[in-house]
Amino acid sequence: MASFSSLKILFNINIICLLVMVAFSMGGVSAQLSTGHYTYSCPKVFEAVESVVQSAVAKERRMGASLLRLHFHDCFVQGCDGSILLDDTSSFTGEKTAIPNNNSVRGFNVIDDIKSKVESVCPGVVSCADILAIAARDSVVQLGGPNWDVKVGRKDSLTASLSAANSGVIPPPTSTVSNLVNRFQARGLSAKDMVVLSGAHTIGQARCTSFRNRIYNETNIDPSFSRTRQSNCPSRNGVGDNNLAPLDLKTPTTFDNNYYKHLLVKKGLLHSDQILYNGGSTDSLVETYSKNPKAFSDDFVAAMIRMGDISPLTGSNGQIRKNCRRVN
């Protein structure tokens, strides 16, 4: 009996040690993003986000591009931390009025709806930063693009940075290739990532103020294309600034590789689009993606996952906001 008791005690000690090791192991993993982060804490999160995105995109297909863009503009300022969602207060100025965002980024009400739906399923568990990442993926899928497993586990920031958002970290539509490459490399993304993520412009629209100079003053543009765009974008600054034009002339609400095909015939809407195919280092990638939609889809997925890894807040950093527009 004594030997049996000893074995039992030893067995219990081993079990305790194993549990401690697992706990430490999970503690280490919790500081990283993973596709299974909400497997037990909120297994219905992806279903909840998808249902709201599906409804929003069905109502307005342009919303898919807007939600994708929100994730991009969030990640490039302070990392993927939901900072772009914070409203201004009497003592705080957020990023929404920054030059790249003001009168441009949209979809905040949809994010509010998603947050409300997720909170009803599992309150206080899912961050707004993760909601942005999941909604971006779901938007691409709803518009016919590729699917992928979204890594989650981000926390929400307690701050935002108007100055950082205005500093040029978000590349403006007037960017050169070197400027684009530098901005992406500063975020740990390659020139290839930059070219393939620019392919997100296969959906969505741009304001006249973003492409006015191109359609009136640049030479590497198809004449008939520039005339078409001029009909809805007057040359005078301040007139028709917010008039919209599709970034992809042919299929602006379908996620495909037509964006690159347009660049080959000088029909890129923004200067920062057409500059990717203008006799420079990125020409070969544009040609590849124009001919090979699978290569575009595969590389886009890989680049989106890498972008989602930009400086996330994890572990004890940040918080899970109850309302995406303000800190708890």
Distance from C-alpha of 198 to C-alpha of 311, rounded to nearest angstrom: 21
φ and ψ at residue 33, rounded to 5 degrees: -80, 150
Give Cβ neighbours of residue 210 (< 8 Å, ≥ 6 apart): 173, 270
- Say whether 71 is catalytic: no
CB neighbour burial string for 119-132, b if at least 16 within 10 angstroms, e if fewer: beeeeeebbbbbbb
Alpha-carbon distance values, 59 to 69, 78, 206, 259, 275 (Å)? 18, 32, 20, 24, 34
- The bridge status of strand 205-207 relative to strand 244-246 is antiparallel
Q: Among all chains, which residue has been given the structure tokens 């809407």?
A: 269
Whether the CA torsion 242, 131, 156, 125 is positive or negative: it is positive
Please state at what angle helix 283-291 crosses helix 191-198, rounded to 10 degrees. 50
DSSP secondary structure, 101-120, as one string: TTTT---HHHHHHHHHHHHH
Of 37, 71, 73, 271, catalytic: 73
What are the E-state strand segments in the chain?
205-207, 244-246
Active site residues: 73
